[in-house]
Amino acid sequence: MNLFLNAFAWIFDPQNWQPGGISPLPIQDRLLEHLLYTAIAVMIAAVIALPLGFYIGHTGKGRQFVIGFTGAMRALPTLGVLFFLTMVLGSLVKGASGVFWGTIVALVILAIPSILAGSYAGLESVSRPAIDAARALGMTEMQILTRVEIPLALPLIIGGLRAGTLQVIATAVIASYAGLGGLGRIISSGIGLNDYDRILGGAILVTVFALLVDALFALVQRVTRVPGADNGDRGLKSRRRASRPETVVETPTRERNVTA
C-alpha cells in the first residue's frame, strides 16, 4: 500500500511537473509526446484501413483475406516489429527522424487490424432492408455507402478506432527503448535508477491516460448511435440469411375418412 501512496506522491510532486524534474523533460511534456505519437499513428492507420474496410464491407469482396490478415497481424511480436523497423529506417534515415518514423510505422502496423476489422464489420452489420430501401429510392452505391451504411455502422467503426488507439497507447510505452520519449521514458528511467516510485508512477500515468481515451471513445460511440437503428448482430445475421436460399418444408397432411 505504501508503494502506491509513494507513487501518487511522486506524480503530484510539483518538482516533477517543472523543467528539470525528469531528465530532460517534465511529466506534461512526456504526456504530450505520448499523445503525439498516438495521434499520428492512428490517423495514418485510419487513412489506410478505413477505405479498405468500407470497400470490403460494402462489396463483400476479400472478407476471408482480411480475416486471415488481421489475425496474422495481431500475432506479430510487438517489440520485435518495433526494433526491426526502427533499425531499418534508422539506417536509411540518419538521425532521430529515422528512429521516430520507424516507431510510427510499427505503431501504424499494429493499429491497422483493429480499425480494418471494425470498419468492415460495421458495414456488414447494417440491415439488408435498409440497403434495399436505399437502392429502391434510386441511390447510387456511393450514396448508399456514405448516407446509409457508414452512419448506421458508425458506432462499430469508432469501436475499431477505439481498439486500435488503445493498442497504440500501450505499445508506445516501449518506444522509449528505441530512443523516443513518451510516458514510457518515465518507466525506463525509473528502471535504470531502481526508483520504484517513478516506475509505478509512470505505469499509473499510462493507465489513467488509456482509461481517459477509452472513456472518450465510449462517449462518442454512444452519441453516434442512431436511435432505433440495428447496429448489432441482427444486421449481420440478416445479410447472412439473405445470402442463403430459403428452404420450404412441407408438412404431411392426414387423410380423413369421410363417412356418408
Enumerate residues 6+ apart whose C-beta is below 8 A from 81: 106, 109, 110
Q: pTM of the predicted model, to two decimals?
A: 0.81
pLDDT bucket at 231, cuts 50 / 70 / 90? very low
User: What is the arithmetic mean of pLDDT over 57-67?
Assistant: 82
Residue 159 confidence (pLDDT): 94
User: What is the arithmetic mean of pLDDT over 6-33?
Assistant: 84
Q: Say how far apart CA 60 and CA 242 lie, in whole Å.
A: 13
Local structure of 78: helix, strand or coil = helix
Verify cis geometry, omega within 30 degrees of 0, for the bond prior to 24: yes
**Is the CATH code 3.30.230.70 the one for domain 2-243?**
no
Distances (CA, A) of 241 to 133, 184, 237, 238, 245: 17, 48, 6, 5, 8
Least confident of 120-124, 175-179, 227-231, 256-260: 256-260
Distances (CA, A) of 251 to 244, 246, 248, 255: 22, 16, 10, 13
Q: Say how far apart CA 90 and CA 101 lie, in whole Å.
A: 8
Enumerate residues 6+ apart whose C-beta is below 8 A from 116: 49, 52, 53, 66, 69, 70, 160
Residues 116-160: tens digit of each pLDDT: 989 988 998 888 888 889 889 888 889 998 899 999 999 999 999
Name the residue ranges covered by the structural domains of the chain: 2-243
Distances (CA, A) of 61 to 35, 71, 132, 167: 35, 18, 19, 27
Residues 152-208: tens digit of each pLDDT: 999 999 999 999 999 999 989 988 887 788 899 999 888 888 889 999 999 999 999
Residues 34-54: tens digit of each pLDDT: 999 999 999 999 999 999 999
